[in-house]
Amino acid sequence: SNWQPRNEWPEDKYGDYPMPLQCTMCYMVSDDPLNPDSWEYKGEYLLNPTSFGYPFSNNHTHLQEFNGKFYLFYQTVSLLSNMGKTDASGYRSVGVNELEVNTNKAEFSEGSMDNQGVEQVQNFDPFVTTEAETANVTAGVQFKRTSGEMAAIAEDGGWIALTSVDFDKGADLFGVNAMGKGIIEIRLDDKDGAAVGSIQFESLEDYSVTYCRLTEKISGVHDLYLVFGGEVTLDKWQFAAGE
């Protein structure tokens, strides 16, 4: 629904569904979508962020079925309030919650918003090449296309975190494809913890592949933090088990 408040609501057209509030997410269903007269209004499925304690804003949602569950992606401007800003332009944060969907009746339950999100569907595999934009949460990092590749451009002290990373029986090598001048430190379970390895490099003109041996073999499931020093542009990374 749009930003305009409504004073009238044609109940003969929309049945028992109440008049939607300002800037909420509504849905319609049809068995014949190319027929404009076939669509049936089904009401709201996600209220405005103000209903969940966030500042007032518009919204854009995406409903995705994955592994037998439906996930509703939405936006809030929680970053706006967290940074103490008053201008909402550009300060959008993506959230995701599960949504109950009755596919037989084409009906949605009413969704919700929160900062917790959903449970991780599986552990993360660090032994495959991973694009730098893959992350659970970041700070001091922007994602931009550089030299034809989408990359993480980190400021000094910036970091990328991934949760529930499964190192299985052990990893003792770490490699990156990166450019710039700086250092990337690998830390486990605590952003401010001791580094278990680091890569220093200087490649100002183009990406280069650089490896390091970890200070100890790491195994099992951990939260992973990549902490940046200097000016680093990271394209991708990967762990490996050495000889």
Per-residue pLDDT of 145-182, as tens digits, reads 876 778 999 999 999 999 999 999 999 999 999 999 99
- Give the SS3 label for residue 50: helix
Give the span between the Cα atoms of 30 and 39, in whole angstroms.
5
* Number of folded domains that form the chain: 2
Instruction: Taking residues 134-152, report their average pLDDT.
Output: 87
Q: What is the pLDDT of residue 19?
A: 84
- Provide the domain limits for residue 94: 11-108
Looking at the structure, tell me whether residues 197 and 137 fall in a common domain. yes
Q: What is the pLDDT of residue 177?
A: 94
pLDDT in tens, 90-104: 678 899 999 999 999
Binned at pLDDT 50, 70 and 90, residue 78 comes out as confident
Looking at the structure, tell me whether residues 89 and 32 fall in a common domain. yes
Residue 200 belongs to domain with CATH number = 2.60.120.260
Is residue 87 predicted with pLDDT exceeding 70? no
Looking at the structure, tell me whether residues 205 and 152 fall in a common domain. yes
Residue 154 located in a structural domain: yes
Residue 31 located in a structural domain: yes
Looking at the structure, tell me whether residues 103 and 134 fall in a common domain. no
